[in-house]
Amino acid sequence: MDYQGNVIRPPSETNSIILQVTVGCSHNRCTFCGAYKEEKFRYKDEAIIDRDLAYAAQHFQRHRRMFLADGDVVSIPQHRLVPLFQKINCKLPWIRRISLYGNSRGLRHKTVDDLLTLKALGLDRIYMGLESGEDAVLASVCKGSTAAQMIAAARKVREAGIFLSVTVLLGIGGSQGSTQHAVATAEVLNQMAPNQIAALTVIPIPGTTLYDDMNRGHFQLPNELSILQELKTLVNHIKLDKVQFQANHASNFLPIDCRLERDKSITLARIEQALAGAIPLMPDYMRGL
């Protein structure tokens, strides 16, 4: 398989075939992200993709899932995406689930009918990064979309009946705006109504604007107890039923994997125990991206 640059996949795609069809991210301006800084966003050559599909067809016949990388595959024009999905169906007919990353800018160029067409061809799951529900935070990290735009994109995905997984970043609001960030994020999540919510904890990466801002004193990262309090506030303000909530990424201090609203009281009690010191937190040397 041909992989160029940094190929990143969601944790839940561990057992998926990773087919890289774009390189980099179409936005690539978020201050907290260093994944694609050295890469210019581009579509991969069709001949390379065809070779990878042929390789996957020969060597991955037991795999039932495929993840399309890199950062924003949904931004590929429909007239190119549809033939790609058709090739996957033709060459790997045993694939039952195709997933990809999609940001709100790319989704704005897709109609519900476009998404329904892709769903009929196997698109089962879209991963979308919300990060924060507060517009001031989104602007400060150069997200490139407002909360309202991301709500509209999410509703389009849900209307097409595609599984939606949304990522949020604990700590990205800074120490002063921690509570406001958590409440606003929960309120936006309530309107997006995703099937899955994944909460990561921001870790400033050397070489990123956020890291430089922190070193200059322009951004103050909340400490571990403040992050836990932020997590508690977020969970408490989410008013969704039957949504999978996970904070079990390697960046998190306290692993959480629950179903809301069903497990809300148990989850809040676990966070309270951690705040009181009754549950040990993940040490910094074991945390990472």
Q: For the segment 85-122, what is each residue's pLDDT rounded down to a tens digit?
A: 999 999 999 999 999 999 999 998 999 999 999 999 99
Q: Which fold has domain 11-279?
A: TIM Barrel (3.20.20)
Is 168 in a helix, a strand, or coil?
strand
pLDDT(235) > 90: yes
By DSSP bridging, strand 22-23 and strand 42-43 are: antiparallel
Average pLDDT over every residue of 145-153: 97
pTM: 0.94
Q: For the segment 42-83, what is each residue's pLDDT rounded down to a tens digit?
A: 999 999 999 999 999 999 999 999 999 987 899 999 999 999
Here the contacts of 27-31 (C-beta below 8 Å, separation 24 or greater) are 27/71, 27/72, 27/103, 27/105, 27/144, 28/71, 29/142, 29/144, 30/131, 30/141, 30/142, 30/143, 30/144, 31/140, 31/141, 31/142, 31/208, 31/209, 31/210, 31/213
- Tokens linked to 187: 């309120």
Domain borders along the chain are 11-279
Of the chain, the percentage scoring pLDDT greater than 90 comes to 83
